[in-house]
Amino acid sequence: MEDLKKTDQTEITTPETAEAIEQGNAETLSDLNTEAKKGKIKVNIITPGRKSKIKVFDIINYIIFGLLTLIIIIPIWKVVSDSFNAVGVYQFKLWPTQPTIGGYATIMTTKKLLRPLINSFVTTILGTLLGLLMATLGGYVLNQEEMPGRNILSYFLLITMIFSGGMIPEYLVMKRLHLVDSMWILVLKHGMNVYNLVLMKNFFEGIPATLYEAAKLDGCSPMQIFYKIVLPLSKAALASIGLMFAVTVWNDYSTVQIYITNPDQVNFQYKLRVMIQDGDTPTTAYKVSQSTLYYAGIVCAILPFMLAYPFLQKYFVTGVNVGAVKE
């Protein structure tokens, strides 16, 4: 009851609290104290003390991160602003002087630019799905302790992370598989990533073994355990690793540069690079400058992930440390 009388230290989340403390009703305070001990009401303790002071470290921290934020945002805003400007502007302007959407209209109506953009979306979606399929199935199989040869297979996969056959043997293999001059090389080449497979394996090891045992007692097969128990618990890992696969496939232009010569099979990143470096811009009916078309292409290249990241952020923040900590 003494604690309840200390109004500067105790706050009771009940309707009659204010009236009881204000009037000093000893009987009511005694009843509230008894209910608090029984857990029937919630008591929030407010620790008395001095008012919080703004520390010098906090001020410096806000200034530094504010400057870093501006350093990141201002160039992006400059690119976005210039992509809507009909006249090529090399000075720093935050707003377009002659607003237009001609740059984006050119990309969407010109086959020379639209086809690579569609290729990028197709290869990224299929490559991400294939990569997630291989990583999750491989990690789940290697997580089975009763599987014979599990350690040998794990070492065999890890060796591929250290040594590779080289560019020429890889090219000969791709040629034998009839993947040269085909955009499907972007899908299949990134389909197997040992690093992501190991991350998924480590994540699966963190799932309590009791869940596996309970599912087995209920008569679930290994594959039923995989898609009914393991996958629903792996949303954070799937989101973060899926984002890694998507970014890798979407931004890959070196593979296109080495293996693909057919202009109908290239992706948008390669076309954008050629367009900017070689000045290979298509003729357009819209009155836009060459630099406006460049900036519109850059925005189209970065926009999909800028739109997707806010929806994946809640999973990505959780899954960024996938496999880093074991319980």
At 99, is the secondary structure helix, strand, or coil?
Answer: strand
- pLDDT for the residue numbered 112: 80
Report residue 206 as tokens.
């963190």
User: For residues 323 and 202, is the Cβ–Cβ distance under 8 A?
Assistant: yes
pTM over 0.75: no
Residues 6 or more apart whose Cβ sits within 8 Å of residue 72: none
CA–CA separation, 203 and 139 (whole Å): 9
What's the mean pLDDT when you consider all of the chain?
77
More confident residue, 112 or 283: 112
What are 71's two structure tokens? 């350093």
- pLDDT tens for 223-236 read 888 888 888 888 88
Q: What is the mean pLDDT of residues 80-94?
A: 75
Return the pLDDT at 39.
54
Do 116 and 265 form a contact (C-beta atoms < 8 A)?
no
pLDDT level of residue 113 (50, 70, 90 thresholds): confident
Residue 28 has which token pair? 């009511």
pLDDT per position as a tens digit, 248-284: 899 888 888 888 888 888 888 888 888 777 766 666 6
Lowest mean pLDDT among 48-62, 78-92, 271-285, 309-323: 309-323
> Is the pLDDT confidence value at 77 over 70?
yes
Q: Which pLDDT score, from 0 to 100, does residue 319 have?
A: 52
Mean pLDDT, residues 45-55: 56
- Mean pLDDT for 17-27 is 52
Residue 26 has pLDDT above 60, yes or no: no
The pLDDT value recorded for residue 46 is 45
> Residue 125 — pLDDT band, cuts 50, 70, 90?
very high
pLDDT average, residue stretch 176-202? 87
Q: Using 50, 70 and 90 to split pLDDT, how confident is the model at 130?
A: very high
The per-residue pLDDT for 12 is 47
Amino acid 20: pLDDT: 52
Closest CA to 233 of 324, 142, 322: 322
Give residue 129's pLDDT band: very low, low, confident or very high (50, 70, 90): very high
**Domains assigned to the chain:** 2-45 (no CATH), 56-100 (no CATH), 104-319 (1.10.3720.10)
- Which of 97-101, 193-197, 213-217 comes out lowest in average pLDDT? 97-101
User: In terms of pLDDT, which residue wins out, 89 or 257?
Assistant: 257
Report the DSSP beta bridge partners of residue 99: 85
Kindly state the average pLDDT of the residues 4-21.
47
Helix (H) or strand (E) holding 45: strand 43-45
User: How many residues make up the chain in this entry?
Assistant: 327
